[in-house]
Structure 1
Amino acid sequence: MAENNKQKKLTLITLILMIFTSVFGFANMPRSFYLMGYGAIPWFILGGITYFIPFAFMMAEYGSAFKDEKGGIYSWMEKSVGPKFAFVGVFMWYSSYVVWMINICSTIWIPLSNTIFGIDTTSNWGILGLNSTQVLGVLGVIWVSATYLISKRGISKITKITSVGGIAVALLNIVLIIGAIIISILNKGQFREEITSTMSFVNSPNPAYQNVSSVLSFLVFALFAYGGIEAVSGLVDQTENPEKTFPKGILMAAAIISVGYSLGIFLIGIFTNWAGTLSGENINMANVAYVVMNNLGYTLGSSMGLSNSLSIQVGNWVARFVGLSMFLALTGAFFTLSYSPLKQLIEGTPAKLWPGKMAVIDENEMPINAMFIQTIIVAVMVLFVSMGGSSAKLFFTMLVLMTNVAMTIPYLFLSSAYISFRKKDNIEKPFIILKSKSFAIFIGVIVTAVVGFANFFTIIEPAIHGDYKSTFAMIAGPVVFAVAALLIYANGEKKKDI
């Protein structure tokens, strides 16, 4: 039995792939270039330096200090600050991932459609009298149910799928890098989006991103592009030699992701002219990744001297590859995030907070009953949104807005708890990156301030443009989730042995 458990442990490479799959969003690079051009690069560097890399340091220190704790970020915050603080933070964080799952159940079919047909045809899908939205809803229910049936068999099944997703994204980046370099050589170093001066890395070619408000909103986008590293923190206890492997995996993944975003944005400019390719009215945040990579294939073909029709075919096949890679990456992320946040919520928190047998962990170390309940909730919500008409869609839009801030507020909980973590000398810390306690506390304050600013600006930005409903929804989200968490906790406190 011990040998079987040993085989289930995560290796360094598997851990890095899981982190990479959960954090790195390939689409963030073409979306960033679409919004800011080369001007996106300094903001990603700033976000990496002031938030992502120091936050990754914190996660690594937490992870090695609490390597024997099964509750992930709940355990970290509970040991550093207290149980109520930790429960509110982890419950808000978990709630946002449930909404993310509901959203992905319907949108994951877009990259699959691009894989099969070369374009997004989901708006035309219909069968047995169901319209496209309803068909996507039914497919979403099948998807989340299949995820549950596979995931309940244990972490080894999840790691196989997430590893495929991580490899797919890595290959997609290799295609971008090699394709851009070949085009640069064939065009003798001439960029399609010319770099005229250092201001090319400051100003945006996008007319909508010319004022302070819009540029600051991009900083928020850059910060949120780094989100998700805490999601795999609950896997410390399932990692080989966790004291060394876990922090090493987090740091290596953080370095690759930080450099990768900036490099990818820079390379897109080699084969993409913003005004010529991305200024059309039909270009948007949902399809820009496919447009950019289709353009990579087309430009590669034309640079090699192929005919226009052949170049178009090359572009279409590259777009299909993008669709397949993003489908596999989303699949990997879905499996990881349908299990890891719930694992941390259930395993970390006192069992008597939860009704019935919801807190039961099976022989595969999976919170099997909680996973089943989560699957039912997601499936019902997907059907409600897809079958409920315009009012249901409006409700879901507001729900997404409510979780935009709620998803990142736990980062504030974690970074502020880190300050307390470093102050407590009674917590054994086998792995310390920030050697000076005062400097570590200073870094904790800086990260907390940066995330706090990002959340504050995210909340007020719609109101600046007159959209007060969105601002209200983003304020209401954290309030609603926090009140729900406090009610659950208060109810649990009435029971004994909590």
Structure 2
Amino acid sequence: MSNSKKLGLWTLVMLTFVPTFGFGNITSNAVVLGPAAIPSWFIVSVLFFFPLSIMIAEISSANQDKEGGLYAWIESSLGPKWAFIGTWSYFIANLFYLQMVFARIPVSTSWALFGENRFTDQNAYLLPYLSVVLAILLTFIATRGVKRFAKLSDFGGKFTLAATVIFIVFAIVGYLTGTPSATQFTAENTIPKFDVSYFATFSWLLFAVAGAEVAGTYIKEVDNPEKTFPKAVIIATIFIALAYIIGSVAVCLVASPEVLESANLKDAGYIVYKILAENWGINGKIVVQLYAFIFTITSIAAYIVWIESPIRAMFAEVPEGTFPRFLTAKSEDGTLKNALWVQCAIVIILILVPLLGIESIDAFFKLLYDLSALSLVVPYIILIVAYISFRKKNMDAPFKFFKTNSSAMVFSWIALILSVAGFIGAGFDYVLGSESTSEAIKLVFKTYGGPIILILFGYLIAFGGKKNIASKSQDQSI
């Protein structure tokens, strides 16, 4: 394959940036934390996101000949058992994530076409049906191979970055030229209060920067991967961190937390663009429509990446016999089409079951959603442990950002502690808000026991598959 057909540096940067950065994360956390979101993003970026991205860059450079991404990285230092556990929990969390996100595209499309969200209470019933159509359509696009939609991701990522930069520049210039800040910055509201409530909120900031790993499954598609991939991860990480930190400052200048809180959280990102445009005497509706159009294109690209990448991570590198051959069959370009369509079918079931009106089944799937809520943090904990083992074993890697093991260990252990704290803290909102002790116990079981139950379920599947393979081999030998 010629280099012209492979993914270049900036395309890879955008493949990382697009599914990771979300302007809605800025506005939603500005609502919850107010100005305290600014130092919070800084802490998360410096102590968690950047070190995690460096770990991914280093360990992926040592596995550039493999396409499994997360699975290959963990397996290289911890072995197949932990690789399966990490990737399975990642895959499960992604299924329930996809169930929710398909409804966002019709909303953003409504803002782009009409300058408002027309999927209100009266029309909200249409969202599940539109989500099913989008699930099928975007899965079909994903089956065509990553290079076919890489340009869309590249286009959407650059325009999203441009839209964010424009928002930041106009917000700051407006403030410097006389527009008063909509938020009053004081030491009391800017310095985070490190209490239990803040700890619960802070833990979700860790999940907001999830996504640096998604491009890892495409490393074999990259031109000169040992240099290009680490560089792309670092550049994308810097862009994302700066966008979250400076973007939070800009949002606080344009809109107060009260204004944002009065709007639907899904619509808050559009509202701030409208306010900023009107501050400059520009038609707010047109600006919002333009931003919504860019956001829609970016969302489509991001969701295609989220559809395809976990499938590669889950099925591309697992040992033969772990799953049925039907799921691990690849096309010529390495795309796992059968697995993609099975994933699509599961997501459609998750979307449609609540519409049947069968309370018991609906409650069952709501339970599954609660159980999977923290599955996303498990693979990051395992990945960090894998990196610590990777450095202790002094495994060869073409790229090493941390020149000494001692510096690598310091940042790795800080990231690991924050990840574990995030796993614990993310459930505090549920537990603290419970009305009784019995309800609190149920919530603890669902929130914290869920990932363990789902991991055990996946491990039983893998164990059963290997047992069947061993039995067949024994029968053939007889």
Tell whether the structures are fold-level matches, with TM greater than 0.5. yes
Give the whole-Å Cα distance in 2 for the aligned partners of 1:185 and 1:46.
Answer: 26
Aligned partner of residue 280 in structure 2, secondary structure: helix
**Contact 1:183 1:271 (8 Å CA) reproduced:** no
Task: Identify which of 262, 266, 273 aligns with 1:293.
Answer: 273
Are 2:453 and 1:480 equivalent residues in the alignment? yes
Are 2:135 and 1:144 equivalent residues in the alignment? yes
**Contact 2:41 2:241 (8 Å CA) reproduced:** yes
Q: Structure 1: which amino acid aligns with 2:139?
A: Y
Aligned to 2:240: 257
**Contact 1:105 1:382 (8 Å CA) reproduced:** no
Aligned partner of residue 435 in structure 1, secondary structure: coil
Give the whole-Å Cα distance in 2 for the aligned partners of 1:457 and 1:185.
Answer: 38
Deviations 1:401-443 (A, max 9, x none): 3222101111000001111111123x32111111111332232
Q: Structure 2: which amino acid aligns with 1:171?
A: A
**Contact 1:165 1:332 (8 Å CA) reproduced:** yes
Q: Using the TM superposition, give the Cα deviation of residue 252 of structure 1 relative to its aligned residue in structure 2, in angstroms.
A: 0.7
Q: What is the RMSD of the two structures over their aligned residues, measured on CA atoms?
A: 2.2
Give the whole-Å Cα distance in 1 for the aligned partners of 2:428 and 2:201.
Answer: 14
Flag the 1:123–1:389 CA change in 2: closer, same or farther, 3 A. Answer: farther
Aligned to 2:306: 337
Give the whole-Å Cα distance in 2 for the aligned partners of 1:35 and 1:296.
Answer: 21
**Contact 1:182 1:300 (8 Å CA) reproduced:** no
Give the whole-Å Cα distance in 2 for the aligned partners of 1:165 and 1:386.
Answer: 33
Aligned to 2:183: 193
Deviations 1:149-171 (A, max 9, x none): 22222221121222232123113
The answer to which of 74-83 and 144-153 deviates more is 144-153
Give the whole-Å Cα distance in 2 for the aligned partners of 1:238 and 1:472.
Answer: 42
Q: Using the TM superposition, give the Cα deviation of residue 125 of structure 1 relative to its aligned residue in structure 2, in angstroms.
A: 6.5
Aligned to 1:20: 17
Q: Structure 1: which amino acid aligns with 2:169?
A: I
Aligned to 1:269: 252
Flag the 1:392–1:123 CA change in 2: closer, same or farther, 3 A. Answer: farther
Aligned partner of residue 266 in structure 2, secondary structure: coil
Task: Identify which of 205, 210, 217 aligns with 1:227.
Answer: 210
The answer to which of 381-390 and 66-75 deviates more is 381-390
Aligned to 2:191: 202
- Residues 17-96 of structure 1: pairs in structure 2 closer than 5 A: 17-96=14-93
Aligned to 1:181: 172
**Contact 1:75 1:86 (8 Å CA) reproduced:** yes
- Residues 68-467 of structure 1: pairs in structure 2 closer than 5 A: 68-123=65-120, 132-133=124-125, 135-187=126-178, 190-195=180-185, 197-202=186-191, 212-275=195-258, 277-278=259-260, 280=262, 283-301=263-281, 314-388=283-357, 394-425=363-394, 427-466=395-434
Q: Using the TM superposition, give the Cα deviation of residue 71 of structure 1 relative to its aligned residue in structure 2, in angstroms.
A: 1.2
TM-score between both structures, scaled by the size of structure 2: 0.91
Deviations 1:183-202 (A, max 9, x none): 224416x423233x444421
Deviations 1:259-318 (A, max 9, x none): 11110111123222344x3353xx2422222222221122222xxxxxxxxx6xx22222
**Contact 1:153 1:364 (8 Å CA) reproduced:** no
Unaligned regions of 5+ residues in structure 1, if any? Answer: 127-131, 204-209, 302-310
The answer to which of 251-260 and 465-474 deviates more is 465-474
Q: Using the TM superposition, give the Cα deviation of residue 30 of structure 1 relative to its aligned residue in structure 2, in angstroms.
A: 1.4
Q: Structure 2: which amino acid aligns with 1:8?
A: K
**Contact 2:181 2:253 (8 Å CA) reproduced:** yes
Q: Using the TM superposition, give the Cα deviation of residue 471 of structure 1 relative to its aligned residue in structure 2, in angstroms.
A: 3.1
Flag the 1:174–1:389 CA change in 2: closer, same or farther, 3 A. Answer: farther
Q: Using the TM superposition, give the Cα deviation of residue 211 of structure 1 relative to its aligned residue in structure 2, in angstroms.
A: 7.9
Flag the 1:392–1:298 CA change in 2: closer, same or farther, 3 A. Answer: farther
Flag the 1:379–1:65 CA change in 2: closer, same or farther, 3 A. Answer: same
Q: How many residues align?
A: 465
Give the whole-Å Cα distance in 2 for the aligned partners of 1:278 and 1:155.
Answer: 37
**Contact 1:213 1:461 (8 Å CA) reproduced:** no
Aligned partner of residue 329 in structure 2, secondary structure: coil
**Contact 2:200 2:428 (8 Å CA) reproduced:** no
The answer to which of 165-174 and 445-454 deviates more is 165-174
Aligned partner of residue 350 in structure 1, secondary structure: coil
Q: Structure 1: which amino acid aligns with 2:260?
A: L
Flag the 1:211–1:352 CA change in 2: closer, same or farther, 3 A. Answer: closer
Q: Using the TM superposition, give the Cα deviation of residue 99 of structure 1 relative to its aligned residue in structure 2, in angstroms.
A: 1.0
Aligned to 2:476: none
Aligned partner of residue 420 in structure 1, secondary structure: helix
Q: Structure 2: which amino acid aligns with 1:459?
A: G
Flag the 1:82–1:65 CA change in 2: closer, same or farther, 3 A. Answer: same
**Contact 1:412 1:452 (8 Å CA) reproduced:** yes
**Contact 2:86 2:382 (8 Å CA) reproduced:** yes
Give the whole-Å Cα distance in 2 for the aligned partners of 1:355 and 1:327.
Answer: 36
Deviations 1:74-120 (A, max 9, x none): 11111101111110110010111111111112232111111122221
Give the whole-Å Cα distance in 2 for the aligned partners of 1:472 and 1:92.
Answer: 17
Flag the 1:148–1:66 CA change in 2: closer, same or farther, 3 A. Answer: same
Aligned partner of residue 351 in structure 1, secondary structure: coil
Unaligned regions of 5+ residues in structure 2, if any? Answer: 474-478
The answer to which of 391-400 and 48-57 deviates more is 391-400
Aligned partner of residue 427 in structure 2, secondary structure: helix
**Contact 1:164 1:332 (8 Å CA) reproduced:** no
Q: Using the TM superposition, give the Cα deviation of residue 398 of structure 1 relative to its aligned residue in structure 2, in angstroms.
A: 3.7
Aligned partner of residue 120 in structure 2, secondary structure: helix
Q: Structure 1: which amino acid aligns with 2:414?
A: I
**Contact 1:84 1:489 (8 Å CA) reproduced:** no
Q: Structure 1: which amino acid aligns with 2:339?
A: A
The answer to which of 137-146 and 87-96 deviates more is 137-146
Give the whole-Å Cα distance in 2 for the aligned partners of 1:125 and 1:461.
Answer: 30
